[in-house]
Structure 1
C-alpha cells in the first residue's frame, strides 16, 4: 500500500529525516519508535505533505497504492490526504479549531471529501462520535474543543481522521498528556477501529509495550534514520542494533530490583554535532574505528557494522 524510499527532510543544514525507507501493507499495523528528535513525526508529516518552508522534502519514491505522491498535483494530493490517508496528531486541543464546534469541524471534512451537506452531514457526524464512544454524542456535536476533556478531544480527532474511511491511518503519539486509564482506552479504540475497517495503521509512540501488543512490525528510528526494522516479537526479543537493545534495557520491567533504571548516555545528535560516520557511534558501547569513518547502510533490517546477532551466533 505505502512505499517510501530515501525520504529526506531538511531544515536548512539540518537533516531531520535522513534517507528513510518504509513499507506498509494493507491492513498492517506498523509501530515506529525512538527517542524525541529521531524524526518519527517529521517523516509522517512529510508523507502527508505538511512540511512548510523552510523545510524541504525529497524522496527517491513516495508511493501510495501505485500513485506517485511527489509527482501528483497539489490539488489531487489534497483530495487524497484526509480521505485515503489520515492522521491523528499529538495535541488534539492544538489541532482542533477553537472557533468552531466539533460537529462543524467533522461536517467540514465530510463536505470537502464526500460532498455531504446539511442533515446528512450532521447524521454522519453523530454516527462518528458514537463510533469513537463519546457519551451523549448529540450534545457533544455542539461543544467547542475547550469544553471537552483531553480524552474527549482525542476521540474527536480520531472521528475526524476516520470520517472518510481511510485506507491508512497514522497515529502520532495519540495518548500524549492523557492519564493512564484514558491512554489504554484510546489505544483499544484505535485497534478496534483498525480491525473493523481493515485499514492499515502506523503507530508513532515512545511506548514499546504498546507497539509489542498492537503492531505486526516495528521500525526503530534514530537521528532521522531507520536503524532496525522487522517483525514482532522477534525484533524486541532479539534486537540486533545496539540502540534497540538499549531501548529494551531501559524498560522498567527489565529493571526490577535495580536501584536505577538503565539509561543510555548522551543525546540524539543535532545540527552541529552530527557524526560523519555512524550516527549512533558517540553513544554506542560497541563502537570501533570503522564506525567513526563510515556510515552503515540498512542491511537485512539493521543499520550496523557490528550487530548484536554476531555475538549470539558465535
Structure 2
C-alpha cells in the first residue's frame, strides 16, 4: 500500500530524515519507535506534504497504492490527503481550531472530501462521535475544543481522521499528555477502528509496550535513519542492532533489583556533530574503526556492520 524509498528531509544544513525506507501493507499495523529527535514525526509529516519551506523533501519513491505522491498535481494530492491517508497529531488541543465548534470542524472535512452538506453532514458527524465513544455526542458537536477534556479532544481528532474512511491512518504519539487510563482507552479505540475498518495503521510512539501489543512489524529509528526493521515479537525478543538492544535494556521491567535504569551515554547527533561513519557509533559499545569511517547500508532490515547475535546479546 505504502512504499517509501530513500526519503530525505533537510532544514538548511540539518538532515532530519536521512534515507528512510518503509513499506506498509494493507491492513498492517507498523510501529515506529526511537528517541525524540530521531525523525519519526518528520518522516510522516513529509508523507502528508506538511513540510513547509525552508524544509526540503526528496525521495527515490513516495508511493501510495501505486500513485506517486511526489509528482502528482497539488490538487490531486490535497484530495488524497485527509481522505485516503489521514493523521492523528500529538497535541489535539493545538491541532484543533479554537474558533470553531467540534461539529463545524468535522463537517468541514466531510464537505471538502465527500461533498456532504447540511443535515447529511451533521448526521455523519454525530455518527463519528458515537464511533469514537464520546458521551452525549449531540451536545459535544456544539462544544469548542477548550470546553472538552484532553481525552475527548483526542477522540475528536480520531473522528476527524477516520471521517472519510482512510486506507492508511498515521497516529503520532496519540496519547501525549494523557493520563494512563485514558492512554489505554485511546490505544484500544485505535486498534478497534483499525480492525473494524481494515485500514493500515502506522503508530509513532516512545512506548515499546504499546508497539509490542499492537503492531505486527516495527521500525526502529535513530538520528533520521531506520536502523532495524522486522516482525514482532522477534525484533524485541532478539534485537540485532545495538540501539534496539539498548532501548530494550532501558525498560524498567528489565531493571528490577538494579539501583539505576540502564541508559545510553550521549545524545542523538544534531546538525553540527553528525559523524562521518555510523551515526550511532559515538554511543555504541560495539563500535569498531570501520564504524567511525564508513556509514552502513541497510542489509536484511538492519543497518549495522557488527550486528548482535544470540550469543553476543546474552
TM category (shorter chain) comes to: over 0.9
Alpha-carbon distance between aligned partners in 2 of 1:265 and 1:176, rounded to the nearest angstrom: 25
Please state whether the residue corresponding to 1:129 is helix, strand or coil.
helix
Alpha-carbon distance between aligned partners in 2 of 1:219 and 1:249, rounded to the nearest angstrom: 17
Question: Cα offset for 1:82?
Answer: 0.1
> Is 2:214 the partner of 1:214?
yes
Please state whether the residue corresponding to 1:46 is helix, strand or coil.
helix
- 1:67-102 per-residue CA deviation (whole Å, 9 max, x = no partner) reads 000010001000000000000000000000000000
Please state whether the residue corresponding to 1:297 is helix, strand or coil.
coil
Alpha-carbon distance between aligned partners in 1 of 2:104 and 2:296, rounded to the nearest angstrom: 50
Please name the residue that 2:26 is paired with: 26
Classify 1:154/1:313 alpha carbon distance in 2 versus 1 (closer, same or farther; 3 Å).
Answer: closer
Question: Cα offset for 1:311?
Answer: 4.1
Alpha-carbon distance between aligned partners in 1 of 2:289 and 2:243, rounded to the nearest angstrom: 18
Please state whether the residue corresponding to 2:56 is helix, strand or coil.
strand
Alpha-carbon distance between aligned partners in 1 of 2:312 and 2:248, rounded to the nearest angstrom: 17
Alpha-carbon distance between aligned partners in 2 of 1:166 and 1:246, rounded to the nearest angstrom: 35
Please name the residue that 2:105 is paired with: 105
Alpha-carbon distance between aligned partners in 2 of 1:214 and 1:40, rounded to the nearest angstrom: 18
Alpha-carbon distance between aligned partners in 2 of 1:312 and 1:99, rounded to the nearest angstrom: 57
Alpha-carbon distance between aligned partners in 2 of 1:80 and 1:2, rounded to the nearest angstrom: 13
- The runs of 4+ residues in structure 1 deviating greater than 3 Å are 310-314
The alignment's C-alpha RMSD in Å is 1.0
Alpha-carbon distance between aligned partners in 2 of 1:224 and 1:131, rounded to the nearest angstrom: 36
Please name the residue that 2:48 is paired with: 48
Please name the residue that 1:262 is paired with: 262
Alpha-carbon distance between aligned partners in 2 of 1:124 and 1:255, rounded to the nearest angstrom: 49
TM-score computed with the length of structure 2 as normaliser: 0.99
TM-score computed with the length of structure 1 as normaliser: 0.99
Please name the residue that 1:250 is paired with: 250
- 1:235-260 per-residue CA deviation (whole Å, 9 max, x = no partner) reads 00000000000000000110111111
Alpha-carbon distance between aligned partners in 1 of 2:197 and 2:126, rounded to the nearest angstrom: 18
Please name the residue that 1:272 is paired with: 272
Give the count of matched residue pairs: 314
Please name the residue that 1:302 is paired with: 302
Alpha-carbon distance between aligned partners in 2 of 1:309 and 1:100, rounded to the nearest angstrom: 55
Question: Cα offset for 1:309?
Answer: 2.0
- 1:234-291 per-residue CA deviation (whole Å, 9 max, x = no partner) reads 0000000000000000001101111111111110000000000000000000011000
Alpha-carbon distance between aligned partners in 2 of 1:152 and 1:266, rounded to the nearest angstrom: 38
Please name the residue that 1:133 is paired with: 133
Classify 1:295/1:143 alpha carbon distance in 2 versus 1 (closer, same or farther; 3 Å).
Answer: same
- 1:137-178 per-residue CA deviation (whole Å, 9 max, x = no partner) reads 000000000000000000000000000000000000000000
Structure 2 spans left out of the alignment, 5+ residues: none
Alpha-carbon distance between aligned partners in 1 of 2:204 and 2:313, rounded to the nearest angstrom: 31
- 1:92-137 per-residue CA deviation (whole Å, 9 max, x = no partner) reads 0000000000000000000000000000000000000000000000
Alpha-carbon distance between aligned partners in 2 of 1:282 and 1:69, rounded to the nearest angstrom: 36
Please name the residue that 1:281 is paired with: 281
